[in-house]
Amino acid sequence: MIDATDTTDPACAPARARRAGGRAARQAERAAPLAEALRPVRPGLEGGRYRPLSDEGVERIHRAALDALEQVGLSNAPASGVEILTGAGAVRGEDGRIRFPRALVEDMLAVAARGITLHGRDPRHDLHLEGSRVYFGTAGAAVHVVDVEKREYRDSTSHDLFAAAKLAQGLDNIHFFQRAMVCRDIPDNLEMDLNTLYACCSGTTKHVGTSFSDPAHVAPALEMLHMIAGGEDKWRERPFVSNSNCFVVPPMTFAEESCRTMEACVRGGMPILLLSAGQAGATAPASIAAAIVQAVAECLAGVVYVNAMSPGFPAIFGTWPFVSDLRTGAMSGGSGEQALLTAGCAQMHRFYGLPGGAAAGIADSKLPDMQAGWEQAISNTLAGLSGLNMVYEAVGMHASLLGFCLESMVLGDDLLGQVLRCVRGIEVTEDAVSVEVIRQTCLGGPGHYLGSDQTLRLMQTDYVYPAVADRMSPKEWNEMGRPDLLDRAVARKNRLLDEWRPVIDPATDRAVRERFRIHF
């Protein structure tokens, strides 16, 4: 008689080897990284299923925006802007306001860039802005960092910004990194702008967005970018930084210095985010529809401005209207109204066929708690489902843009994984709805689908698994020491920072530091 547990029995060895080898092979296959096209979520998924505006509503907003440009116009253009705009056909009235005939706007829309690519230093991170493809990233200008362990706010520094850029490099669902914090440890504005730029580029090879506090700062920034790129020609071939430019001060007023910054960036080959950030009930109308009208009108003025300088120059239609709590006047970026505003703006971007960006994911909550969770989830989900190309401020932002939290950035990566799965939607294919799978399971099969080939195949390609969020049973949770979500976020943050490797070669880093005063 042969003992079934006798591992020396040669008759049993082949069967055991086949079973173990097959199981081990399947486990190894499931553990291996998936090809990009097979991942359950990935950059650039197609949204656009959610449409808060009717077709008639979109047309009415468009007509109202044209009326506002033709009848009200924008004030306070710099002398250079007056020359550029009037040279293209805009009209400067006796009141000094620049007004835009409908034909001029339509002509510039006809030549405006569509289907643009925002490059990363690594081509894997290129963002192809066309149709309703969706990308999530950071933005904002928080002046504080949220310390979750001490439950307090402190001034943000260049070190914090560098750390955030390094985290962005390791978080798959954050597709680009726009400056999220102000380097308040640097009092000199030029040094602050240059350190902001270098902290972002030093931390990640994903596309970077930055701002400038003075038009004169663009030239040294471009010098730095040429050094990083390996020459001006390589920079112009693949510009990996865009300028987030608040060229208007709502309502309907040009921001002179920002306009001159925009002109310098266009001449330097840096893509532009045309950013209009009115606040409904304060610097924009309280009506959600009218707030969109004003933002669209202001950004259309930007489209004329940029294309009058350089037809077809890469620019993002950045309608970013925010919401006020009308009881207090305070900003309420985590509100349902904010989510609707952002989704409505995305619909207008698609109407014009222009690459568009807007804000979502802002929490009014001061800490990454349940309030922050619902505020970030609702607006990010609506933004993604509406097909917004560039979803800015998607992670990390608290206290209505006053505070940035590194741990919240890590938690946000999990959140965005779930959002992107919703954006992807449900694929109805012949295999997906096969009755044969049901037949084999129910008629003579095991009566469940846990081990079916379809289940094992789809568990990787159709399902998203959080890196930090807790799906344990209460029993498992107790056995694991009752882990806290924030503790898990802190641990993953520290692990990602430890695993990060420099993305700028030592010789270039040394040359940049010799040329510019770098603080971090």
- Check pLDDT > 90 for residue 390: yes
Domains recognised in the chain with CATH numbers: 46-53+80-424 (3.20.20.480)
Look at 55-64, 400-409, 442-451 and tell me which has the smallest mean pLDDT: 442-451
| CA dist 459 → 40, 396, 454, 463 (Å) | 9, 29, 8, 5
CA distance 275 to 338: 16
Average pLDDT over residues 262-282: 97
User: How high is the mean pLDDT of the chain?
Assistant: 94
Average pLDDT over residues 430-459: 91
Q: Specify burial of residue 164 (Cβ count, 10 A radius: 0-12, 13-18, 19+).
A: buried
- Check pLDDT > 90 for residue 360: yes
CA distance 432 to 213: 53
332 confidence band (pLDDT: 50, 70, 90)? very high
29 confidence band (pLDDT: 50, 70, 90)? low
1 confidence band (pLDDT: 50, 70, 90)? very low
Average pLDDT over residues 416-425: 97
Three-state DSSP at 208 gives: strand
Average pLDDT over residues 191-199: 98
More confident site: 29 or 138 = 138
Measured over all CA atoms, what is the biggest interatomic distance in the chain, rounded to whole angstroms?
108
Q: Which amino acid does the sequence have at 84?
A: I
CA distance 425 to 436: 23
Q: Specify burial of residue 507 (Cβ count, 10 A radius: 0-12, 13-18, 19+).
A: exposed
Average pLDDT over residues 73-81: 98
Bond into 251 cis (ω within 30) = yes
- Check pLDDT > 70 for residue 85: yes
Share of the chain above pLDDT 70, in %: 94
Q: Which amino acid does the sequence have at 256?
A: E
Q: Give the per-residue pLDDT at 8.
A: 39
Q: Give the per-residue pLDDT at 25.
A: 58
Tens digits of residue pLDDT in 201-247 = 999 999 999 999 999 999 999 999 999 999 999 999 999 999 999 99
Tens digits of residue pLDDT in 104-149 = 999 999 999 999 999 999 999 999 999 999 999 999 899 999 999 9
Average pLDDT over residues 29-33: 62
- Check pLDDT > 80 for residue 3: no
Q: Give the per-residue pLDDT at 15.
A: 40
Q: How far is Cα of residue 122 from the mean position of the Cα atoms in its chain?
A: 17
- Check pLDDT > 50 for residue 292: yes
Average pLDDT over residues 51-80: 98
Q: Give the per-residue pLDDT at 27.
A: 55
Q: Give the per-residue pLDDT at 37.
A: 81
- Check pLDDT > 60 for residue 4: no
| Residue listed under structure tokens 């009326």 | 67
- Which tokens is 347 given? 């619909």
**Alpha helices, DSSP H only, in 204-311?**
218-229, 232-237, 256-267, 288-309
CA distance 89 to 237: 31
Q: Give the per-residue pLDDT at 38.
A: 85
Q: Give the per-residue pLDDT at 19.
A: 43
Concatenated DSSP letters of 357-408 = EEE-----SSSSSHHHHHHHHHHHHHHHHTT-SEEET-SSEEGGGTEE-HHH
Average pLDDT over residues 389-405: 98
Average pLDDT over residues 374-398: 98
169 confidence band (pLDDT: 50, 70, 90)? very high
Q: Give the per-residue pLDDT at 22.
A: 59
CA distance 317 to 272: 9
Contact 264, 218 (CB under 8 A): yes
